[in-house]
């Protein structure tokens, strides 16, 4: 029989610990231990459940997908192929309005194949794209808004870390989730490009064109002896000459590895874990061929370890949390209560998305997933929502929180990466708002037309 007191205390304890500033992993672990003890009344059973659940989670090969894909991305990043491809896109769009901003969107799309992490994309393209856009007279806020907004593509373009986490939490096929993100990702990138082109045509000064545009400048000192403020000095990466064979080699290396790994996963030739391992090995070979040395290899390992270890600890405690919800009956009670409440499916979906937006203002995307997905996913399924499209809706809505003021992590990442005293975070938030609205538009389209997310999974798997 369901105990409402236990359920209330479990949820209240978790929320209280998070609001008090405890790390999400600690909050999940403590809540799990307390919840299982309250449900069983036995310390010995509580210890046994915690031990068995932890052992099952640690033995799961699925957990290895995250660090292996991160390692693949780290090796590719150190090989320099991303910079080469961005330079190639930049030079190939010379006759297109706002070509640098469009190149940033397309470059972020390519970069997402490598990392699947929005924060990494934002940090990288702040250093790659912003110097070139400023050198051509782009409005500072408009340039940084394009970088921050397009960095969100990392959540949808496989191999997305958020998709892997969602698949682990809901026990869905990671390969199908990867496929489900392709069409929405392309749609999102297309809308981003359309907005940039329209903005450039309506206000040419935003992209350094028209009579009101400021004269472009190639290099500016950061601060002169008299203390005058100016732009910091950047390395103008995107203007460097790039031999065609170097660009061809970078494109073949990147897309060859990505196509072979993701294609093999989608065709069922190997599991996502095996594909991630093969991708890491191929990316290592590419990085070595392009000049990476032993010190770079060691730095890549440590970099991935610092990022992946906290995520894996979070997933372990999330497994305990899910077991606690099942044992205490919290998930079933919430699902049955909402189903019998008389609310329409649209109202339920709206409430879930609003909660994700609000949480996105204060905590990171993975933590939001761990806290909410075990509860809201069964509710959505009970209301008849398509499982794949709901996953993509959730990922977009959660990631939109990274652009939402006042604590959008992507905006602060961009600001910290460029160190430009002339632009504040409020300007970046304002310029990133159109991209946030585009994400909301895509969310509405997926709710109304779940076939968008299901097209490729049904076609290929």
Residue 224: the pLDDT is 38
Residue 77: the pLDDT is 75
d(CA 133, CA 224): 22
Divide the 461 residues of the chain into consecutive groups of 10 and give the mean pLDDT of each group: 67 83 85 85 86 77 77 82 77 80 84 68 79 84 91 79 86 88 91 94 85 51 37 47 75 83 80 85 90 90 83 81 78 77 87 83 77 88 92 90 77 80 87 93 94 88 57
Residue 18: the pLDDT is 79
Residue 220: the pLDDT is 39
Asked whether the CA dihedral 214, 220, 224, 229 is positive or negative, the reply is positive
**In this structure, are residues 81 and 290 in contact, taking their beta carbons and an 8 Å threshold?**
yes
Residue 184: the pLDDT is 93
Helix (H/G/I), strand (E/B), else coil: 196: helix
d(CA 428, CA 413): 11
| Composition of the chain by helix, strand, coil, percent to 5 | 75, 0, 20
Residue 114: the pLDDT is 64
Q: Half-sphere exposure (CA, 13 Å, Cβ side) for 60?
A: 19
Radius of gyration for the alpha carbons in the chain, expressed in angstroms and rounded: 23
Residue 214: the pLDDT is 56
**Of residues 448, 451, 442, the one with CA closest to residue 192:** 442
**In this structure, are residues 389 and 452 in contact, taking their beta carbons and an 8 Å threshold?**
yes
């Amino acid at each position: 029989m369901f105990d409402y007191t236990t359920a209330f205390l479990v949820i209240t304890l978790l929320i209280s610990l998070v609001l008090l500033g405890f790390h999400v992993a600690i909050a999940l672990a403590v809540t799990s231990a307390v919840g299982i003890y309250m449900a069983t009344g036995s310390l010995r059973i509580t210890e046994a459940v915690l031990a068995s659940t932890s052992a099952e989670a640690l033995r799961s090969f699925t957990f290895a997908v995250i660090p292996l894909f991160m390692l693949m991305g780290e090796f590719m990043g150190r090989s320099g192929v991303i910079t080469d491809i961005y330079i190639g896109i930049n030079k190939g769009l010379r006759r297109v309005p706002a070509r640098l901003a469009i190149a940033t969107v397309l470059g972020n799309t390519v970069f997402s194949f490598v990392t699947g992490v929005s924060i990494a994309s934002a940090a990288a393209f702040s250093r790659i794209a912003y110097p070139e856009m400023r050198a051509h007279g782009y409005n500072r806020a408009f340039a940084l808004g394009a970088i921050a907004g397009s960095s969100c593509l990392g959540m949808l373009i496989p191999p997305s870390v958020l998709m892997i986490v969602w698949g682990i939490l809901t026990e869905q096929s990671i390969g199908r989730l990867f496929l489900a993100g392709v069409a929405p990702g392309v749609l999102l990138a297309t809308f981003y490009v359309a907005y940039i082109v329209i903005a450039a045509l309506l206000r040419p000064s935003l992209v350094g064109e028209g009579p009101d545009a400021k004269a472009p400048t190639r290099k500016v000192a950061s601060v002169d002896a008299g203390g005058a403020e100016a732009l910091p000095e950047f390395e103008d990466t995107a203007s460097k000459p790039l031999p065609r064979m170097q660009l061809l080699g970078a494109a073949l290396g990147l897309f060859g590895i990505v196509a072979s790994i993701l294609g093999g996963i989608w065709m069922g030739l190997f599991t996502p874990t095996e594909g991630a391992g093969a991708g890491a090995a191929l990316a290592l070979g590419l990085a070595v061929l392009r000049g990476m040395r032993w010190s770079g290899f060691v730095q890549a390992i440590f970099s991935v370890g610092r990022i992946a270890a906290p995520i894996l600890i979070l997933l372990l405690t999330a497994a305990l949390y899910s077991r606690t919800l099942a044992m205490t009956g919290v998930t079933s009670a919430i699902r049955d209560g909402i189903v019998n409440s008389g609310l329409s499916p649209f109202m339920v979906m709206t409430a879930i998305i609003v909660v994700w937006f609000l949480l996105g203002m204060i905590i990171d995307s993975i933590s939001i997933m761990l806290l909410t997905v075990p509860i809201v996913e069964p509710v959505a399924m009970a209301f008849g929502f398509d499982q794949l499209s709901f996953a993509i809706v959730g990922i977009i809505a959660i990631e939109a929180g990274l652009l939402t003021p006042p604590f959008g992590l992507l905006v602060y990442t961009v600001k910290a990466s460029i160190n430009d005293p002339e632009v504040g975070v409020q300007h970046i938030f304002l310029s990133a708002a159109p991209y946030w609205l585009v994400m909301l538009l895509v969310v509405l389209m997926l709710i109304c037309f779940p076939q968008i997310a299901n097209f490729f999974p049904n076609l290929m798997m």
